[in-house]
Every structure is written in C-alpha cells, then in structure tokens.
C-alpha cells in the first residue's frame, strides 16, 4: 500500500516537473498575462479551447498582448469608422399632409379720427378719408364676417341731441362707403354714441375756447370700426 502511494506521488511530481519545464508564464514578453509553451509563443489552452491566464493577467495586458486578439477578442478596441463616412439616415416616414386651418381674424378695433375722415361739424367724407376707407376695404376683402360695426363719436361741444345725430350720420356715411366697396350691407351696422363716450377726461381742456378747445377735444371725435370674422 505504501509502495503504491509512493508511485502515485512520484508520477504526479514528475508530471508537474515536466509541465513546469514546458510551460512558462511570460512576465515581460509580448504575451504577458498568458501561459505559453516553452520559449515559443503558443498559448497554453484547456481541452475546451480556453487560453490559460497567469496571475498577472489584466484587461490592459490582454489588449496589448499578441495572443489577446485570439484569447480575449471581446476586449479588443473596435475599428473606428472612416472619418468621412456619414451615418446612414433613417428612412423618412411619410406623414399625411395636414390641411391648414383657416386663419382666425381676431376682433379688431380700428380708431379713425373723425377729423381725418370729415371736416369739422360735417358728415361728408374728405378725399383723404375715402383713401383711408379704401385701404380698409382691401384688408377686408375675402373675409367671412360675423359682424362689422361702425360707431360714431363726437366731442362735448354742442347739445346732446345734436351730437347724437351727427355721430349717427358719420357712422352711416362710413357704412355706405364700405358697402359701395363690396361689403355685404347685412354684415355691417352703424350706430352713434354722440358725446357719451369721450376719450378725454373731465379735467382736460379746462379754460380753452374756440380753436384751442376744438384741438384739445380732437380724440373724442372719431369713428370706430370693429371687425370680427375669419380670413
């Protein structure tokens, strides 16, 4: 029994000695980190084909080693794409063309100075007043109107009754002129507010008379045109 044990031990010891003589771990060689056979460059592999690493193996050494390309290919740097190569664009997905929604013309309030449209205390349009309304008519062409309001205002000079009638005449003049330019008569309305809605404050223009008072109250003399519709 003792002899048998000695024989087995001798065989094992002899095998290890033979293996040590054949296999050397290269510390400073090109294949540092892998066990190679003798003084050659062949890496020792297991029966399943795996390379045998030494105790000083590291990923960095696997990358630098010649055997690393075969033994640890997943650690090797990937080849960079040519600098001039452009990435292949993803195929564009066709989208159905959306129909543009009609633009909404928000309610607008245009303040025309009555002095620009009419002479003082008059309701007949001046040439420059007609030119201003011509521009307005061109802007309104092709619009689907909900309503157009022409509202006349006067200053505080004169009686309430007189100023009310004057404001109505001026608003109606503006309406009739726009109707003559193609605006549907049932879409435009005229009304007068007289001197009930002044833009000047009660304390403004105190002590002024004649032309000075007329000039000071100019903001109150106006015709507002309010438009609501879609273009």
Q: Lowest-pLDDT range, 38-52, 137-151, 178-192? A: 38-52
Task: Please check the confidence at residue 13 and state whether its pLDDT lies above 80.
Answer: no
- The confidence score (pLDDT) of residue 73 equals 80
Backbone φ, ψ for residue 16 (5° rounding): -65, -40
* 176 vs 58: which has the higher pLDDT: 176
More confident residue, 95 or 222: 222
User: Based on C-alpha coordinates, what's the Rg of the chain?
Assistant: 50
C-alpha 158/C-alpha 160 separation (Å) is 7
Average pLDDT, the chain: 76
Cite the residue boundaries of each domain of the chain with CATH code 3.30.1330.60.
104-230
Kindly state the average pLDDT of the residues 126-147: 85
Give the model's pLDDT for residue 125.
93
Written as one string, the DSSP assignment of 79-95 is PPPPTTPPPPPPPPPP-
Structure tokens at 177: 């002129």
Pick the range with the lowest mean pLDDT from 18-27, 77-86, 113-122, 177-186: 18-27
Q: Which pLDDT value is given to residue 40?
A: 61
Residue 169: pLDDT above 90?
Answer: yes
Structure-block tokens of residue 192: 């007068």
Question: Is residue 12 predicted with pLDDT exceeding 50?
Answer: no
Tell me, what's the pLDDT at 215?
92
**Confidence band for 80, pLDDT divided at 50, 70 and 90:** low
Residue 38: what pLDDT?
Answer: 56
Report the C-alpha gap between 191 and 148 in whole angstroms: 11
| pLDDT > 70? residue 107 | no
Buried b / exposed e across 221-230, counting CB within 10 Å, b at 16+?
A: bbbbbebbbe
Domain spanning 104-230: which superfamily? Answer: OmpA-like domain (3.30.1330.60)
pLDDT of residue 24: 45
| Sign, CA torsion 12/15/17/20 | negative
Reading the block at residue 23, the tokens are: 């296999």
CB 110 within 8 A of CB 136: yes
From residue 17, how far is each of 119, 144, 205 by CA, in Å? 126, 104, 123
Highest mean pLDDT among 47-56, 172-181, 219-228: 172-181
Q: How far apart are CA 51 and CA 45, in angstroms?
A: 4
Phi, psi of 4 (to 5 degrees): -65, -40
């Amino acid at each position: 029994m003792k002899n048998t044990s000695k024989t087995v031990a001798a065989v094992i010891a002899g095998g290890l000695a033979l293996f040590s003589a054949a296999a050397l771990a290269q510390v400073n060689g090109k294949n540092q980190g892998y066990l190679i056979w003798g003084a050659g460059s062949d890496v020792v592999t297991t029966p399943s084909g795996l390379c045998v690493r030494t105790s000083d193996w590291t990923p960095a050494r696997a990358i630098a080693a010649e055997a690393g390309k075969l033994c640890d290919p997943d650690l090797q740097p990937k080849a960079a794409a040519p600098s001039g190569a452009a990435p292949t664009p993803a195929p564009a997905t066709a989208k159905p063309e959306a129909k543009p929604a009609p633009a909404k013309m928000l309610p607008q309030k245009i303040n025309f100075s009555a002095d620009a449209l009419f002479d003082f205390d008059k309701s007949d349009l001046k040439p420059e007043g007609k030119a201003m309304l011509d521009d307005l008519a061109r802007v309104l062409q092709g619009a689907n109107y909900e309503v157009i309001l022409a509202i006349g205002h006067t200053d505080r000079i004169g009686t309430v009754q007189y100023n009310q009638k004057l404001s109505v005449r001026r608003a109606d003049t503006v309406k009739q002129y726009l109707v003559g330019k193609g605006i549907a008569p049932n879409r435009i309305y005229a009304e007068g507010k007289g001197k009930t809605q002044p833009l000047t404050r009660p304390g403004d223009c105190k002590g002024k008379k004649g032309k000075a008072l007329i000039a000071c109250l100019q903001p109150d003399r106006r015709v507002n045109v309010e438009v609501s519709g879609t273009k």
